[in-house]
Amino acid sequence: MTRGHAPDERPVTVPRLRQMKRDRTLITMVTAYDATFARLFEEAGVDVLLVGDSLGMVVQGLDSTLPVTVDEVIYHCRAVARGTRRAHVVGDMPFLSWQLGSEQALRNAGRFLSEGGAQAVKLEGGVDAAPTIERIVRAGIPVMAHVGLTPQSVHAMGGFRVQGKTEETAARVLADARAVAEAGAYSVVLEGIPSDLAQQITDALEIPTIGIGAGPDCDGQVLVCYDLLGLTPDLKPKFVKRYAEFFEQGVAAARLYCDEVRDGVFPSEEFSFGKVKKDEATSSGLSLVQHVRPGYGPKG
Ligand code: KIV
């Protein structure tokens, strides 16, 4: 695999992601839920931004992803798309947003592209989801599949548990991965499975595999951005590496702000607009915003 590959400016597209697998260039993916975080990950050169239904847990404070709605994910998708220039944006289809029939599946999948500004949708499910994936793909909507630990099936799995740990269940996860690839998915997330199973699936499929809790031998990796940045202090799953401690830094910054306001230190002259000019009848006013970086901004 190509390591430490510096991304170029070209937009990341479906064909390009397939090519990255053929070139053995590892794919980077993180979740994002708003324009500011999207920009942060753009600057870092992340290839794929997933507007995951994990937003239910990290943004909305829920204990599962089940209550998240299509409208909610699309709302966040639009924000992420506005903060994105190069990265490939994927909208996550939430619980029961496609299972009611192909018409429902197609209508909802299409909304992620037409209203959310995404380039693809992600959908949890294996063999059972394959006919739906085929239908959506035939309509020209790229589908990223998701097998192994599928959080929307938390109750069927009896909790957020590693999947495919026995030969029998591993064979089932492999069959799921093959089915979604045959149905036309352009990539597949492998979540919460043993590393050797993930390697076997990665070797068996032509489409890129993106791992989370699936070891190092996938074609790419994904992390929930709040985990990566250390914004989830109460949660530290084994597969998560925190690359920053934003929560602690945020608490320290907010504490300092409170101290400075209470002590009358903030705002000082530096952060104030001075005095009224008594000799000027009219004033054009001072601009509140001093510097805006070009290249990003409202897209609708
Ligand atoms: O919703 C999500 O964030 C996901 C990733 C963890 C793959 O599905």
Band of pLDDT at residue 83, cut at 50, 70 and 90: very high
Q: How close is the Cα of 257 to the center of ligand 1, in Å? A: 34
Indicate whether 256 and 224 sit together in one domain: no
Indicate whether 94 and 218 sit together in one domain: yes
175: tokens are 């069959």
Q: Is residue 182 part of a domain?
A: yes
Residue 45: CATH number of its domain: 3.20.20.60
Indicate whether 74 and 190 sit together in one domain: yes
Residue 144, phi then psi, degrees to nearest 5: -95, 125
Look at 286 and 200; give whichever has higher pLDDT: 200
**Mean pLDDT of the 257-274 span:** 97
Specify the pLDDT at position 293.
60
Average pLDDT, the chain: 94
Q: How close is the Cα of 60 to the center of ligand 1, in Å? A: 15
Indicate whether 176 and 256 sit together in one domain: no
**Mean pLDDT of the 245-258 span:** 98
Indicate whether 264 and 166 sit together in one domain: no
Indicate whether 258 and 123 sit together in one domain: no
| Among protein residues, the one whose CA lies closest to atom 5 of ligand 1 | 52
**Residues annotated as catalytic (active site), given as ranges:** 191
| Among protein residues, the one whose CA lies closest to atom 4 of ligand 1 | 52
List helix spans (H) across the chain: 14-22, 35-44, 55-58, 70-82, 102-114, 130-138, 154-157, 167-182, 195-204, 225-228, 246-262
Residue 291 has pLDDT above 70, yes or no: no
Q: How close is the Cα of 31 to the center of ligand 1, in Å? A: 7
**Sign of the dihedral through C-alpha 46, 211, 202, 215:** positive
Indicate whether 71 and 110 sit together in one domain: yes
Specify the pLDDT at position 300.
42
| Among protein residues, the one whose CA lies closest to atom 6 of ligand 1 | 224
Residue 73 has pLDDT above 90, yes or no: yes
**Mean pLDDT of the 119-129 span:** 98
Residue at a domain's end among 228, 261, 284 = 228
**Mean pLDDT of the 9-35 span:** 97
Looking at ligand 1, which atom is closest to the CA of residue 124? Answer: 8
Indicate whether 23 and 164 sit together in one domain: yes
Task: Out of 191-195, 215-219, 275-279, pick the least confident.
Answer: 275-279
The pTM of the full predicted model, rounded to 2 decimals, is 0.92
Cβ < 6 A, ligand 1 pocket = 31, 50, 52-54, 92, 146, 189, 191, 212, 222, 224
Domain count, the chain: 2
Specify the pLDDT at position 298.
47
Specify the pLDDT at position 271.
97
Specify the pLDDT at position 239.
96
Residue 200 has pLDDT above 50, yes or no: yes
Indicate whether 206 and 285 sit together in one domain: no
Band of pLDDT at residue 296, cut at 50, 70 and 90: low
Domain range for 281 is 251-292
